[in-house]
Structure 1
Amino acid sequence: MPEYCFFKKGDHVNALERNDTEGAACLRDWGYTKQSEELKAANTHCALAHFHDIRNEEQAREHEFSTGAAFLALIVGVLAVVDWFFL
């Protein structure tokens, strides 16, 4: 299975085989930035699908972390107000 690297410009992502240095140079010239992920996949379509799955999971994890922290801060605030009223 070939190993793929990814290049991103805005919302558009391209996958290239890792040994395609000419294609990588061309994408960099067009303003694409190389992403840190490198994956083994059967073809380009599977590599891109797996890349998007990884990115969506990262975004979901970040969202869960931020909303969890906000919820915890709200609970602590409510408990502080309730404690102040009853003590």
Structure 2
Amino acid sequence: MSSKEIAKLTGKPVSNVHRDVRAMLDQLAVGDDSVLNHVCQVKDGRGYTKEYQLRRRETDILLTGYSVPLRAKVIDRWRDWKARSPSLS
């Protein structure tokens, strides 16, 4: 799921979601960055982060710091995607 979609679903500014993603990745990467090689950081022409593409695990980890209603919105979206495409994980 993209950081832009997380921002839209939760009503948080995308810059705040990016801050939260960076903090989460820094904490998860302690000692072994290779476990996060799949996280995609999309940059614009100026080199600024446009969005992050997160897998389900990292999305769930990020959301555990958010409020229950915000977590529910994103979890419902994942379930909707999974119902339409069972190969998503």
- What TM-score results when the alignment is normalised by the length of structure 2? 0.25
Q: Which has the higher contact order (CA 8 A, sep 6+)?
A: 2
Of structures 1 and 2, the larger Rg is shown by 1
